[in-house]
Amino acid sequence: RYAWGLNELKPISKQGHSSNLFGNIQGATIVDALDTLYIMEMKEEFKEAKEWVEKNLDFNVNTEISVFEVNIRFVGGLLSAYYLSGEEVFRKKAVELGEKLLPAFNTPTGIPWALLNIKSGIGRNWPWASGGSSILAEFGTLHLEFVHLSHLSGNPVFAEKVMNIRKVLNRLDKPEGLYPNYLNPSSGQWGQHHVSIGGLGDSFYEYLLKAWLMSDKTDEEGKKMYYDAVQAIETHLIRKSSGGLTYIAEWKGGLLEHKMGHLTCFAGGMFALGADGAPNDKTGHHIELGAEIARTCHESYDRTSMKLGPEAFRFDGGVEAIATRQNEKYYILRPEVIETYMYMWRLTHDPKYRQWGWEAVEALEKHCRVDGGYSGIRDVYNNHESHDDVQQSFFLSETLKYLYLLFSEDDLLPFEHWVFNTEAHPLPVLRKDDGHKEENQK
Ligand code: DMJ
């Protein structure tokens, strides 16, 4: 009603919201929400969205975009919409957009730029990123989509680009077996030795595991990189507070910052999803680790007035799982905690995960629901809402989809057949014995 065809909604001012992540590409919320509409059987709305994509989604624009954000939301959204509905328009648009992203890889190492002008093909990095570095969670979160683009287009170039990223990473020494968040695409050397399983690092680890799962467990390289990384994370980053809460700290040149981001909370689900393949009889241990992270993240919600979690919470200065800095107290409708509840529910069927999910539903309805949609909150510790007036597109693609799956049967998008990209867009497992069967696994 208020922002149709624009990127995001401002639910209080009831108008469009544009973020520079997508440049002049329009329709982020429509594309991000396509599969959610399909899964929720909102057929009329899906049809309207499809018509908008057919008539209006245009990538022939002179604009600079974030390669990572456009990949996870637009390419991922279009690929899922195609696999779920079988509608050719989504496949065509996904491949067309994938082709527009290819010039980002024109760097001396093939590690892509963060930002790309999709008309001129000129790329660059974020000016704040450690001496011209690319970001681990950005260049490490292209793999799933690019493998599918090769599969659907018959053009191997997409898969080659992401396999080369692995090659560069495997040639490098890793401090204590950890992956720094910054890598210079020209020199091929790490930037600052900062390590995070939250912002700047997060979905790189997620995609190692999911690449292996999506390959029908044939991608041994992805598997090894994932379990080796988890080993290093456990040794150097995972700690327990005196109150018994397990958390994942950040690492700065060997020193720990005892802070965990909301973004980091996705790792509970990741550990549980990877438990089955864990080496050395560690399946139970990885499930337990997932459960402990889920509990810590639930505490970060429960210890606020609004029962919604802050952007980051700390385990120092006498606090546990609480934000201490004013600029870390906001909640922008992020999905990671609910995502972890969903994985933990599917993998353990412990009813507490549905209870915790329902607490989040009630809090969202009470504090984020406004006349024109859902809004983020500036301070979750305050009793009175100060709304940020933005409905992020991932609220529809992830937060609501993961809630829906948390309360659905396990045979809706079963994990044996589907892997979720980092924006919650389901992609089919590519069967080793039948490269095309996946289209039938709806
Ligand atoms: C989403 O775009 C994705 O989940 C990404 O991996 C991290 N940030 C947002 C949600 O918080």
Q: How does pLDDT run across 357-391, given as a tens digit for each residue? A: 999 999 999 999 999 999 999 999 999 999 999 99
Could you count the other beta carbons within 10 Å of the beta carbon of residue 265? 30
DSSP labels, 366-409: IIIEETTEE--BS-TTSSS--B---B-HHIIIIIHHHHHHHTS-
Q: How far apart, in Å, are the Cα atoms of 409 and each of 210, 326, 346?
A: 22, 40, 9
Is 69 one of the catalytic residues? Answer: yes
Q: How does pLDDT run across 143-195, given as a tens digit for each residue? A: 999 999 999 999 999 999 999 999 999 999 999 999 999 999 999 999 999 99
Q: Residue 197 Cα, ligand 1 centroid: separation in angstroms?
A: 13
**How far apart, in whole angstroms, are the C-alpha atoms of residue 91 and residue 102?**
17
Q: What is the CATH number of domain 8-428?
A: 1.50.10.10
Read off φ and ψ for residue 118, nearest 5 degrees. Answer: -80, -5
**Mean of pLDDT values over 249-260:** 97
pLDDT at 438 over 60: no
**What pLDDT sits at residue 135?**
98
Residue nearest to atom 2 of ligand 1 (CA): 423
**Residue 441: band (very low, low, confident or very high) from pLDDT cuts 50, 70, 90:** very low
Is 220 one of the catalytic residues? Answer: no
Residue nearest to atom 8 of ligand 1 (CA): 263
Q: Are strands 369-370 and 373-374 parallel, antiparallel or unpaired?
A: antiparallel
Judged by DSSP in three states, 414 sits in coil
Which residues lie across from 195 on neighbouring strands?
A: 251
Structural domain boundaries in the chain: 8-428
Tell me the H-state helices in 274-351. 283-302, 336-348
For residue 422, say whether it is annotated as part of any ligand binding site: yes
Cα four-point dihedral sign 141, 146, 147, 148: positive
Q: Residue 281 Cα, ligand 1 centroid: separation in angstroms?
A: 31
Q: How far apart, in Å, are the Cα atoms of 342 and each of 43, 152, 358?
A: 24, 29, 11
Could you count the other beta carbons within 10 Å of the beta carbon of residue 32? 28
**What pLDDT sits at residue 435?**
54
Q: Does any ligand 1 atom lie closer than 6 A to the CB of residue 401?
A: no
Q: Residue 423 Cα, ligand 1 centroid: separation in angstroms?
A: 6
Reference 379, options 302, 311, 295; nearest CA is 311
Q: Residue 280 Cα, ligand 1 centroid: separation in angstroms?
A: 31
Q: Does any ligand 1 atom lie closer than 6 A to the CB of residue 394?
A: yes
Residue nearest to atom 1 of ligand 1 (CA): 423
Q: How does pLDDT run across 12-52, given as a tens digit for each residue? A: 999 999 989 999 999 999 999 999 999 999 999 999 999 99
**Residue 433: band (very low, low, confident or very high) from pLDDT cuts 50, 70, 90:** confident
Reference 267, options 252, 245, 286; nearest CA is 286
Reference 8, options 329, 413, 393, 423; nearest CA is 393
Which residues lie across from 17 on neighbouring strands?
A: 8
**How far apart, in whole angstroms, are the C-alpha atoms of residue 4 and residue 134?**
33
Q: Which of 202, 206, 250, 339 is catalytic?
A: 202
> What stretch of H or E contains 45?
helix 43-56
**How far apart, in whole angstroms, are the C-alpha atoms of residue 255 and residue 268?**
23
Q: Does any ligand 1 atom lie closer than 6 A to the CB of residue 181?
A: no
**What pLDDT sits at residue 440?**
34
Best mutation site among 135, 423, 425 for ligand 1 pocket (most ligand atoms within 8 Å of CB): 423
Token pair for 255: 């020193």
**Mean of pLDDT values over 112-122:** 98
Is 219 one of the catalytic residues? Answer: no
Asked if 413 and 405 touch (Cβ cutoff 8 Å), the reply is yes
Reference 80, options 432, 422, 431; nearest CA is 422
**How far apart, in whole angstroms, are the C-alpha atoms of residue 189 and residue 382?**
44
Token pair for 292: 């402990």
Q: How does pLDDT run across 386-429, given as a tens digit for each residue? A: 999 999 999 999 999 999 999 999 999 999 999 999 999 999 99
